[in-house]
Chain A
Amino acid sequence: MELLTVENLKKSFGKTEVLKGISFSLKKGEVLAIIGSSGSGKTTLLRCLNFLELPDAGSIAVSGKTLIDCSDATTLDDETVRQNRLHFGLVFQNFNLFPQYNVLGNVTLAPTLLEKGTKEQIEENARRLLDQVGLSEKLDSYPHQLSGGQQQRVAIARALALQPEVLCFDEPTSALDPELTGEVLRVIRGLKNRDTTMIVVTHEMEFAREVADKVIYMADGVIEEYGTPEQVFEQPQSEKTRAFLHGAQSIY
């Protein structure tokens, strides 16, 4: 059964239509990579999944439960939106850690406020996750004392602490120095081995090819190409995809 089903998702900002009908689905444990040039709607898609934006049309369902169906006239109240967000986690391009909390505090804050267990359970879980992302030495450090790569790994642990069904990454390495991207990508690779369902918006083509089970190439708000990494990277059907991949290659 599909874990996540997205159907005909549309979103406009003013007169600009950013998403023009996006449909795809994802099974549990699968990793979906979304590639495409800037302005193609990748980030907006992730923001719709995380209910930071509400789509104008289409539906999103997780484990068979419809979270939003725009053909249904009822508007979602704040509490429903909040509950819906808990199905997803989001790791931002620029981390957005909470500066006044140390590493452990960043990871434990939300579970504590949402009363996801006793203080001991929450803290133990946080320590385990921080160990998993290789930061057990940095529990007491504050975000400004960490490198970009370390900050992003804290952000990943923070998102994992709420055990989201689908973890989304919005260009997780774009704000990092090249030498720091490796450590973040390693962590994401490790998560794949633990059967975490993930959607990764990325410009790292090699990484997408290696880690993803499915790849979407987006252009101008539509899915231009959808398939396994082999299909998308080796035998792209669309002319646009070929041009994009060619352009991406010629950078190196």
Chain B
Amino acid sequence: MSFLEVTQYLFDGFLISLLIFAVTLLCGAPLGLPIAFCSMSKVKAIKAVSKVVVWIVRGVPLMLQIFIIYYVPGLLFKFPMFSYVDRYFFSAYGIQDAGRIMAVLIAFTINYACYFSEIYRGGIESISMGQYEAGYVLGLTKTQIFRHIVLKQVIKRIVPPMSNEIITLIKDTALANCIVVCEIIKQAKDLAATKALVWPLFYTGVFYLLFVGLLTIILGRVEKKLSYFRS
């Protein structure tokens, strides 16, 4: 195989990595917000449930969570739904791995939403009571205070920890190969097994590095854009 062919083959895998990355970010980031609010709830039961969920999700390896999501419907309920999805998409559209990717997306989204929720909670709780009170004495409503006073300060504070998580996320997508999703590392391992090519495995690092470089630039810009005030 030529260098170009290997690149093309790995890139196909990297598109799957990017898909997992994008969906996890787009679904996990918003989902983290209600979890954060539950963790801060004044209702003790809601708060307790939320804390336990976050504890479990953060306390168990993501790889194990992928296995659980993928296998449990079949093992416990005799309903291997992700295999059905796999088969259906393959026979109807010729798409491989659809069910497996779906299981990975669910596991990733839940896992990252919990991590994000803790970042949000930290950010929201770090805003001093004085900011809320200054809003209250000016006759503003709670919603106005959150939207116009607190939110931007929270965003500024959570950008650095969120950047960290986002960068970790693209590398975590490699875990998807534990249920044989054809992300980039899986593709490279295929080449090693079928064509006896080992170097593509190391070459995958370049893909990650370039993407993380791009992310670093974008996130750096966001941080800079919010540097006009101090809070």
| Residues of A that sit less than 8 Å from B by CB | 50-52, 78, 82-83, 85-86, 88-90, 92, 94, 96-100, 109-110, 113-114, 142-144, 158-159, 162
Contacts and interface: CB of A to CB of B under 8 A. Distances in A.
B126 interface: no
B138 A110 contact: yes
Nearest to A114: B139
A164 to B, nearest CB: 9
Contact of A85 (B131, B137, B144, B228): B137
Contact of B229 (A51, A96, A142): A142
A50 B149 contact: no
Nearest to B226: A100
Given A98-B149, A100-B153, A144 B137 contact: no
21 contacts: A82-B141, A85-B137, A85-B138, A89-B137, A90-B137, A94-B130, A96-B134, A98-B131, A98-B134, A99-B153, A109-B138, A110-B138, A113-B144, A143-B229, A143-B230, A144-B229, A144-B230, A158-B138, A159-B137, A159-B138, A162-B138
Interface in B105-157: 128, 130-131, 133-142, 144, 148-149, 152-153, 156
Nearest to A101: B229
B142 to A, nearest CB: 8
B130 A92 contact: yes
Contact of B228 (A89, A94, A98, A142): A142
A89 B148 CA distance: 19
Contacts of B142: 78
Contact of B230 (A50, A99, A159): A99
The interface centre, meaning the residue of A83, A92, A94, A99 with most chain B CB atoms within 10 A of its CB, is: A99
A164 B148 CA distance: 22
A144 B141 CA distance: 26
Secondary structure type dominating chain B contacts: helix
A92 B139 contact: no
A113 B130 CA distance: 19
A162 B134 CA distance: 13
Contacts of B137: 50, 52, 85, 88-90, 159
Chain B residues touching A, range: 20 to 34
Contact of B133 (A52, A113, A158): A52
Nearest to B152: A100
A100 B134 contact: no
A109 B137 CA distance: 13
Given A52-B137, A88-B137, A96-B130, 11 more contacts: A50-B137, A52-B136, A85-B137, A96-B131, A96-B134, A100-B152, A100-B153, A100-B229, A110-B139, A113-B148, A114-B139
B194 interface: no
A86 B140 CA distance: 9
A162 B133 contact: no
Contacts of B139: 82-83, 85-86, 110, 114, 162
Nearest to B134: A96
Contacts of A50: 136-137
Contacts of B91: none
B123 to A, nearest CB: 14
B136 A85 contact: yes
Nearest to A106: B134
B138 A99 contact: no
Q: Which of A78, A82, A86, A100 counts the most chain B CB atoms within 10 A?
A: A100
B231 interface: yes
A89 B156 CA distance: 29
A110 B133 contact: no
A96 B229 CA distance: 14
Interface in B189-231: 228-231
Nearest to A98: B149
Nearest to B228: A142
Nearest to A116: B139
* Residue among B130, B133, B137, B144 facing the most chain A CB atoms (10 A cut-off): B137
